[in-house]
Amino acid sequence: MSEKMRIFNLTQHEATPSQIRDGVYEPSPEVKERIRRLLTFEEPPSTAMIKARAEELAGIAAAHKARYAMIGGASYLMSALERALIRQGIIPLHAFSKRVVEEVMDPETGEVRKVQVFKHLAFVLPPRD
C-alpha cells in the first residue's frame, strides 16, 4: 500500500474537508497570513515582483519540507510559482473542483432552495516540457 500524499496548502484559502481527506495540510496561522500577503496584489505587478513572490512562496514550502504543494491564485503568478517549486524539488498541484447544484431545505419553513457548491474531486499536475 502506498503512503498517502501530504500536500502543503500554498493557497490563500483554507483547505476544504475533502481536500484535507486527500492529504492537504495547513501551515501555522502566521505562515498562512504570510502566504496570503504574497498571493495578494494591490496593483499590477512587474515581472520582477512576480518572480520574487514565486521564489518566496516556494521557499516557504521548502522550509516546511513539502514534497507536494497545492497552488492557486492570480493566473499571472502560477507558471512562475510552478517553476520555482520545481526548482526546490516540490511538485505543484492544482485543485480540480466541479460546480454542483444541491437542494437545501430550510428546516423552519420547509422551503427548498437550490445552491451551487464546488466539490473537490482531484488534483491536477501541470504539464512539464
Which run of H or E residues covers position 50?
helix 47-63
Q: What percent of the chain has pLDDT over 90?
A: 71
Whole-number mean pLDDT of the chain?
A: 92
Query: What are 87's three cell numbers?
Result: 526548482
Please determine, for residue 4, whether its predicted confidence score (pLDDT) is greater than 80: no
Task: Give the Å distances, CA to CA, from 99 to 32, 75, 82.
Answer: 26, 20, 25
Amino acid 125: pLDDT: 87
Q: What is the pLDDT of residues 62-112, one digit of tens each?
A: 999 999 999 999 999 999 999 999 999 999 999 988 888 888 898 999 899
pTM of this structure: 0.82
In CATH, what number does 7-96 get?
Answer: 3.40.50
- Domain ranges for the chain: 7-96
Please determine, for residue 1, whether its predicted confidence score (pLDDT) is greater than 80: no
Task: Give the Å distances, CA to CA, from 105 to 8, 22, 65.
Answer: 36, 29, 44
